[in-house]
A = this chain, B = another copy of it.
Amino acid sequence: MQNRQKVSNAIIRRLPRYRRYLGYLQTKGVKKISSNELSELIGYTASQIRQDLNTFGEFGQQGYGYEVDKLYKEINRILGLDREYKTVVIGVGNLGQAITNYSYYYKIGFNIVGLFDANPKIVGNVINDVEVMDVSGLEEYIEREKIDIGVICVNRENAQGVADSLVKGGVKGIWNFAPIDLVVPDDVALESVHLSDSLHALSFLIKSKADEKKD
Residues of A within 8 A of B (CB): 1-3, 7, 12-13, 15-17, 19-20, 43, 78-81, 85, 94-95, 97-99, 101-103, 106, 110, 148-149, 172-173, 175, 179, 181, 186-191, 193-214
| Contact A202 B191, CB 8 Å, known A97-B98, A172-B210, A210-B172 | yes
In the bound complex, CA of A195 to CA of B212 (Å): 30
Chain A, interface SS category:
helix
Could you pull out 16 A-B pairs where Cβ atoms are within 8 angstroms? A3-B211, A13-B201, A16-B196, A16-B201, A20-B196, A78-B204, A80-B206, A81-B200, A85-B203, A98-B98, A99-B195, A103-B199, A189-B206, A189-B209, A191-B202, A193-B198
In the bound complex, CA of A91 to CA of B204 (Å): 24
Question: Nearest CB to that of A179 among chain B residues?
Answer: B20
